[in-house]
């Protein structure tokens, strides 16, 4: 990023991070799309197929679990073949350098963790965790990275109900503990980066508004403007994989580069 594009927060000097600056990243499908993972919304998004939307509800999934798992097995196969891109890596590098970074993500692919980010709040869960569909069952969600699953469709060893991806379906509430932690961190943020998110999915999009209300400096990175652009202090248009590493380098005075 050239010097005339450096971030300013009403100061005469470029904005620079300190190690105790609380940096929070809200990431959406756009950052993972640059790794080759299809988005769920947008003109070519997966949710343009109404039949797929139907199986992404608790009732729809259980009505045809074999079909539901075929869909999620395809997603798992696609995600397993994709690698973190420079945007994921820049965020992780910032954390590894000792900066106070927390990621709040809408993505279910774990690319942030694969890049090296340790502090990640998954609002919508992840396809790499599986749980029982019976809410009264005492079994706990568990990690599973088989591609494809060895049992299709899998059933719970405790109650015999079908297992399902540990993701948030349509018509379901987000995990209240994850939301509460994301809300707490958002209110503490000094810098809030809005990366590759459409700004239309709530409650995720609401965190940017909360951060603004609590005095954070908001920077948006996206290939186009969004409904959140008007509340951001700066919007940087372009591929996240290109712009975010440049931003991180700029914010750290060149200390963190990938």
Best CA proximity match to 127, nearest among 140, 144, 112: 144
Q: Do the beta carbons of residue 245 and residue 85 sit within 8 Å?
A: no
Best CA proximity match to 196, nearest among 240, 243, 249, 245: 240
Please identify which of the residues 88, 112, 124, 145 carries the catalytic annotation: 124
DSSP characters over 135-183: TT--PPPEE---SS-SSSS-B-TTT-PBEEEEE--TT-PPPHHHHHHHH
SS3 123: coil
Integer-rounded Cα radius of gyration of the chain: 19
CA dist list (Å): 223 to 45, 67, 229, 257? 16, 34, 12, 22
Up-side HSE of residue 189: CA atoms within 13 Å toward CB? 32
Distance CA 177, CA 184 (A): 11
Distance CA 190, CA 4 (A): 22
Look up 124 and say whether it is catalytic: yes
Q: CB atoms < 10 A from the CB of 13, how many?
A: 8
By annotation, the residues acting in catalysis are 124
């Amino acid at each position: 990023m050239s010097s005339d594009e450096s971030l300013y927060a009403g100061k005469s000097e470029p904005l620079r991070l300190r190690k105790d600056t609380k940096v929070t990243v809200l990431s959406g499908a756009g950052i993972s799309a640059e790794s080759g993972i299809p988005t769920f919304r947008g003109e070519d998004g997966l949710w343009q197929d109404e039949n797929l939307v139907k199986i992404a509800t608790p009732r729809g999934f259980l009505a045809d679990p074999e079909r539901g798992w075929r869909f999620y097995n395809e997603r798992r196969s696609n995600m397993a073949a994709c690698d973190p891109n420079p945007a994921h890596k820049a965020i992780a590098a910032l954390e590894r350098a000792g900066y106070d970074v927390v990621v709040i993500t809408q993505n279910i692919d774990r690319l942030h963790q694969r890049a090296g980010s340790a502090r990640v709040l998954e609002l919508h869960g992840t396809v790499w965790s599986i749980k029982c569909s019976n809410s009264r069952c005492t079994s706990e969600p568990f990690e599973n990275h088989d591609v494809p699953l060895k049992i299709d469709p899998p059933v719970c060893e405790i109650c015999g109900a079908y297992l399902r991806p540990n993701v948030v379906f349509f018509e379901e509430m987000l995990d209240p503990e994850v939301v509460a932690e994301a809300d707490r961190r958002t209110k503490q943020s000094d810098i809030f980066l809005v990366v590759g998110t459409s700004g239309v999915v709530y409650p995720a999009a609401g965190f940017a508004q909360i951060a603004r209300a609590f005095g954070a400096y908001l920077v948006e990175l996206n290939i186009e403007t969004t409904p959140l652009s008007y509340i951001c202090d700066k919007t940087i248009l372009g591929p996240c994989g290109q712009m975010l590493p440049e931003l991180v380098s700029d914010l750290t005075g060149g200390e963190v580069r990938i």
